[in-house]
Structure 1
Amino acid sequence: MVFFCFLVDQTRHVQGSKPAAGTCTRCGSGASVADIKTATRFCYVPFYWKSWRAIVCTFCGAVLRSYR
């Protein structure tokens, strides 16, 4: 019997943010510093979490700089 498991998804959740100086290089909107938690699930079972800080755009959501 053979089972095939595939990577199901990887989700990002912003846990908290505060305004930052500067603008987005893509859309020209404001930026904020955010604490982000990334969770990876394999066959619907979460097995890896990582928390990190990044500067993200408040309008388009692009990650402008990350601090891991």
Structure 2
Amino acid sequence: MVCFCFMVDQKRKVRSTKPVAGTCSRCGGGASVGDMITATRFCYVPVYWKSWKAIMCTFCGAILKSYR
């Protein structure tokens, strides 16, 4: 018996943001703290959600530091 299970994708969404002092080290844009949520889907069915905070750039969208 053979069973195949494929990891289809992993999506990140920003729920809310607040501006913080500092700049992005990559582009020089402003920084903000965001409440993030990551959803992992296997075979198009969402099976795992994780909430975490991250400091990210408001201009280029790079994640500068994450707090899990």
Answer whether TM exceeds 0.5 for this pair: yes
Note the 1:6-45 alignment, pairs <5 A.
6-45=6-45
Distance in 2 (alpha carbons) for counterparts of 1:5 and 1:54: 30
Size of the aligned set, in residue pairs, is 68
Partner of 1:60: 60
TM-score by length of 2: 0.93
Which consecutive unaligned segments of at least 5 residues does structure 1 have?
none
The Cα shift of 1:53 comes to 0.3
Which consecutive unaligned segments of at least 5 residues does structure 2 have?
none
TM-score by length of 1: 0.93
The Cα shift of 1:4 comes to 2.8
Identity %: 74
The Cα shift of 1:5 comes to 2.5
SS of the aligned residue for 1:22 comes to strand
